[in-house]
Amino acid sequence: MYFSYFNYWIFIILLMIGLYTVMSRSNLVKKLIGLSLFQISVFLFYISMGKITGGTAPIVVEALEGAPEPVYSNPLPHVLILTAIVVGVATTALGLSLVVRIKETFGTIDEDEILELELEEDK
Amino acid sequence: MFLLVAGALTVLTVRNLFVATMLLGIVSFIMALVFISLDAVDVAFTEAAVGAGISTVLYIGTLALVGSQEKAGIKVAPGAMAICLAVGAVLVYATYQLPTYGSPDNPVHTHVAPRYIQTSPIEIGVPNMVTSVLSSYRGFDTFGETTVVFTAGIGVLLILSQRRRRKSDEEEEKSTAKNGQSRNLSGIGSDHDLIPHVIAKLLIPFILLFALYVQFHGDYGPGGGFQAGVIFAAGFILYALIFGLQFTQRVLSQNAVLYLIAFGVLLYGGVGVVGILMGGNFLDYNVLSSDPVSGQHLGILLIELGVGITVAAAMLAIYYAFVGRADPVSKMPD
């Protein structure tokens, strides 16, 4: 019975790695990469939920003579994740463009160095 | 699956950001394979095109601008680690309350999904259920998501095109007067490599043809506007990478791309408004034709086209913005 949760555990491990990357790395691009990992893990969770053992992709096929009706996996999570992927890359691009601007303003993309620069400006 | 975890861990530890980006692409690609084994062919398609294609290009474009080395010295953040482990522990505890993986009587499968599966082939007449749910049952949702892509494209353009206009208008005019050939704007493009040129020339027509196939065959097989748009953009980006940005913009200029982003969303919304004018609800395709099923067909075709145009144009606009930003000075040594 432990294997029945295997996919969910992988999702959790990926999510933890992503979260840790976002929190512990001070490089902004690395943070965005961590965010992407986090995002991918959530996609995996959704798609795992939609899976039915022995099912097939949700595209209508003609049932063979005498064969049982085909079982389809749940199309709804697929729809949600499909759009989420494209939206995700668009928002990632937005984040990356902000990183580029930060680099131009501060000359660095390291969070700690940016904070130091700001402190110096305040003095 | 374990490959995924291994890949993700290396992404975390490796300090060269360029390597990290490549590894992220690989992780995306493995994830696409996992999606196929989970029956989500449409999603796998999108993940392969977006995760391993476009987003890698965008990351590299950024790295070309900001430099690819992380600050030396690996920090260990005990606080962050503790929070992570706590979150993980709570989630693992929660999985024991989850229904068994793959069982057909999970709650997810008992609400609207059976209706989609049973009636969508009759009501919509489109074999690919993902397409019919995407563009008909959940048309509002998809409209919203297309608008988000649209907005993100505009946002990137706003953020990245600011300084250029202010400072270097004159320089730019001069350099374009020089026929533009002296300056390779693409930043990563190469002038001399023969093999990429030949291969790209052979490949690009097929990539574009395949994108069109995915676009218009999305009703019957895996595919649709989102995937087609991304593949189409990938074809153009490949061209730009290899032959330089000016040639690409001669084919499809920046202004044309801007108009296309808006046109896609307008096409989508327009189909909805036509539905209202013909006596139905917003995004109700039944009224578009005398027969509801063929009306649905027409509606889905049109809005998928709208989605495809917006996504392709937005991705291209984002790419143009990133690459147009790269000065020849900060060109990445390849």
Looking at this predicted complex, what is its ipTM? 0.82
Beta carbons of B127 and B219 less than 8 angstroms apart: yes
Residue of A nearest to B112 (CA): A76
Give the confidence band of B163 by pLDDT, cuts at 50, 70, 90. Answer: low
CB nearest A86 (choices: B21, B85, B230): B230
Nearest-CA distance A121 → chain B (Å): 22
What residues of chain B lie within 8 A of the CB of A49, using their CB? 106, 108
CB nearest A33 (choices: B24, B42, B71): B24
Q: Which range in B219-223, B296-300, B328-332 is most confidently predicted, on average pLDDT?
A: B296-300
SS3 B237: helix
Mean pLDDT score of chain A: 79
| Residue B172, pLDDT score | 44
Give the confidence band of B171 by pLDDT, cuts at 50, 70, 90. Answer: very low
Higher pLDDT: A99 or B15? It is A99
| Residue B165, pLDDT score | 44
What residues of chain A lie within 8 A of the CB of B222, using their CB? 57, 59
Nearest to A45 by CA among A18, A70, A20, A22: A18
- Tens of pLDDT, residues A74-113: 788 888 888 888 888 888 888 888 888 888 887 777 777 8
Give the confidence band of B186 by pLDDT, cuts at 50, 70, 90. Answer: very low
Nearest to B329 by CA among B172, B184, B166: B184
Q: For residue B188, is pLDDT > 60? A: no
Nearest-CA distance A122 → chain B (Å): 24
State the average pLDDT over residues B250-271: 80
Q: Which residues contact A88 (CB under 8 A, 6 or more apart)?
A: A36, A39, B50
State the average pLDDT over residues B99-110: 71
Nearest-CA distance B60 → chain A (Å): 10
Contact across the interface for A93 and B128, Cβ inside 8 Å: no
| Residue A30, pLDDT score | 83
Contact across the interface for A20 and B81, Cβ inside 8 Å: yes
What percentage of chain B carries pLDDT values higher than 70?
77
Q: Which domains does chain A have, with CATH numbers?
A: 2-51+72-122 (1.10.287.3510)
CB nearest B66 (choices: A7, A29, A37): A29
Inform me whether the C-beta atom of residue B47 falls under 8 Å from chain A C-beta atoms.
Answer: yes
Distance (Å, rounded) from C-alpha B283 to C-alpha B139?
Answer: 7
